[in-house]
Amino acid sequence: MAALVTAHVTENADCWPSSAGLEPSPSLPSPHHMAEGKMRSVIKQGAEARIYAENFYGKPSIVKERFKKSYRHPSLDEKLTRRRVGQEVRAIVRCRKAGILTPCVYFVDHETNSIFMEKMHNYYTAREIISDLLKKGTSEAANELDTIAKTIGITLAKMHDVDCIHGDLTTSNMLLKERLVDQITLIDFGLSTVSSLAEDKGVDLYVLERAFLSTHPNTEALFQVILDSYKKSAKKADGVIKKLDEVRMRGRKRTMVG
């Protein structure tokens, strides 16, 4: 556990960008040139981005490349894609400054809308680990689930305390090292915003609640552990939970009417 923390702190030293500036260093050639002619190992092909493994000046990296959407007007598409890349990098920097684990950003290539970032080794998504532990059903697994839920609550409280709204909270966007159930690495900040409003934070938790309960059915009690831990650590938790309750009510009304 300590080793992982040290690794993050050390990596921080050569982590780019050190401030929130987003323009790539002009002296560095685009790492895409290094990849020319090579087969890339695509890790995930999503609807908006493809993720592949790449070496960035000797460091094992992940590249998240947002591709063009042909159904959108080209200039609008370029604007939206560029905005997402900016939002993602800014949020990662903001979270890292607040001591939240996120992959270190090495390079941003605005020409190809790609973010080169630290590759997390031996990581699984929280979704995979939670599903696995729920299947096991042992008391040891229950303890681990409890720790994961508490850690999620604390991590999200820290994130909201610096006014970062993730925008796409799911257990697939949280990474865990198998045995390190008390450390969560947050990823996938392309829909993030900066806001101090309790309403935005409440909606962020609501998005997670919906995703959590549909991915991991019958886990209301486990989700409550996340909320209780959030309540204990977030600065303005009461207002946020109040908004969460309001958003839930609105959701229910919509379901009843629709």
Tokens representing 157 are 């409280």
Least separation in angstroms between residue 176's CB and ligand ADP is: 11
Number of residues that bind Mg ion (CB under 5 A): 2
116: closest CA among 57, 172, 159, 37?
57
Residue number, 152 or 241, with CB nearest to ligand ADP: 152
Active site residue 168: yes
Q: Does 188 bind Mg ion (CB under 5 A)?
A: yes
Order of all β-strands in the sheet with 59-66: 41-45, 49-56, 59-66, 114-118, 105-109
> Minimum distance from CB of 128 to ligand ADP (Å)?
9
**Binders of ligand ADP in range 137-176 (CB under 6 A):** 172-173
Give yes or no for residue 120 binding ligand ADP (CB under 6 A). Answer: yes
User: In this chain, which of 6, 28, 46, 238 binds ligand ADP, going by CB under 6 A?
Assistant: 46
Structure tokens given for 75: 């200039």
Instruction: Order across the sheet with 123-125: list the strands.
Output: 123-125, 174-177, 180-186
Q: Which of 198, 190, 174 lies closest to 247, judged by CA?
A: 198
Least separation in angstroms between residue 205's CB and ligand ADP is 19
Percent helix, strand, coil in the chain, to 5, is 50, 20, 30
Per rule CB under 6 A, is residue 44 in the interface with ligand ADP? yes
Q: Residues in the site for ligand ADP, rule: CB under 6 A?
A: 43-44, 46, 48-49, 51, 62, 64, 103, 117-120, 123, 125, 172-173, 187-188
